[in-house]
């Protein structure tokens, strides 16, 4: 059973919980998600089954879109609404929309983020949240992320919160972004709510929930909910090859760079009559050649 399940993760489940449940429903061990989503967040969590697990790294490395609620006046140790309040300041004057929008735009582009202590980032083989639970502070690695777009959706002065939409690169902590936005507005802040609306080409419109999956599984039709591997690689360019080249690709052969001279992405898909054969990239050592990164049997 090979394909991608466009799962809409419910609140209250970890991404790992979702994988385990999908494994049970599809009766398969070969299963993996494409980018952790916080337990209290909901949204798009594509899960790869069978041969699709080979494309997990390529699907993880795509743009994500989030809807988040920034709450002003209190910062927490987890940077979301589940943590302990560590700083408070009364919001005597809710920032006007123009000021909020100006601050939001200042975050566009490449920036450096320090992941929260309550996160799964590993330091010396141990997850940060494990240190946090032991009340131990460790030096956290600074990571470079990209905010492709960010905009204000609505604001509630009486509730001291506002909603934003963020399009960002992998590895971006929206919790941290919300806390940093608050700081620039002059207030301690935290993320009060989070929904991931899109991962690569997968959006809420194409998502399925566990209720739908379980009903399909009971009817013996769960496989029909899977989408092809190419749906998760829509951000890559496509190289169509002939029957002779197809056999070379199937055997994992290197090919001349001239075949891929019009490719706009690297790596890129290699197909024959719409069948995904492999993912290729420019050879890092041998000039004038391309090499397979993943080959798919079929």
Give Cα 190 to chain centroid, integer Å: 21
Distances (CA, A) of 296 to 91, 107, 249: 56, 40, 9
Distances (CA, A) of 204 to 8, 42, 44, 73, 163: 7, 11, 7, 31, 18
Query: What is d(CA 282, CA 267) in angstroms, rounded to the nearest whole number?
Result: 7
The tokens of 149 are what? 């777009």
Give phi and psi for 67, each to the nearest 5: -110, 125
Q: Print the SS3 string covering 225-260.
A: HCECHHHHHCCCCEEECCHHHHHHHHCCCCEEHHHH
Cα–Cα nearest to 238, from 269, 272, 281? 269
Query: What is d(CA 3, CA 228) in angstroms, rounded to the nearest whole number?
Result: 5
Q: Cis omega before residue 70 (within 30°)?
A: no
Query: What is d(CA 56, CA 15) in angstroms, rounded to the nearest whole number?
Result: 14
Active-site residue, 180 included: no
The residue from 38, 80, 180, 193 that is catalytic is: 38
CA atoms in the 13 A half-sphere facing the CB of 5: 32
Active-site positions?
38
């Amino acid at each position: 059973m090979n394909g991608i399940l466009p799962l809409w993760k419910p609140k209250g489940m970890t991404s790992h919980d979702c994988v385990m449940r999908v494994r049970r429903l599809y009766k398969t061990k070969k299963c993996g998600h494409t980018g952790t989503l916080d337990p209290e967040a909901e949204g798009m969590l594509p899960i790869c089954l069978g041969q699709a697990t080979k494309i997990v790294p390529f699907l993880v490395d795509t743009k994500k879109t989030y809807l988040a609620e920034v709450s002003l006046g209190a910062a927490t140790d987890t940077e979301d609404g589940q943590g302990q309040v560590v700083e408070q300041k009364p919001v005597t004057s809710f920032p006007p929309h123009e000021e909020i929008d100006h601050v939001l735009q200042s975050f566009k582009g490449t920036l450096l983020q320090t992941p929260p202590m309550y996160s799964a980032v590993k330091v010396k083989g141990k997850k940060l949240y494990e240190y946090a639970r032991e009340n131990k502070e460790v030096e956290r690695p600074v990571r470079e992320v990209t905010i492709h777009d960010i905009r204000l959706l609505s604001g509630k002065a009486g509730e001291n919160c506002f909603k934003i939409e963020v399009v960002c690169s992998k590895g971006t902590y929206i919790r941290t972004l919300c806390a940093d936005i608050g700081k620039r507005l002059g207030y301690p802040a935290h993320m009060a709510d989070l929904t991931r609306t899109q991962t690569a080409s997968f959006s809420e419109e194409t998502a399925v929930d566990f209720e739908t999956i379980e009903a399909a599984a009971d009817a013996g039709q769960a496989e029909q909910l899977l989408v092809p591997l190419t749906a998760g690689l829509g951000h890559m360019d496509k190289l169509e090859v002939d029957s002779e080249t197809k056999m070379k690709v199937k055997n994992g052969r290197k090919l001349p760079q001239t075949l891929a001279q019009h490719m706009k992405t690297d790596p890129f898909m290699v197909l024959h009559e719409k069948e995904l054969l492999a993912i290729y990239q420019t050879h890092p050592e041998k000039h004038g050649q391309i090499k397979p990164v993943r080959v798919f049997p079929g």
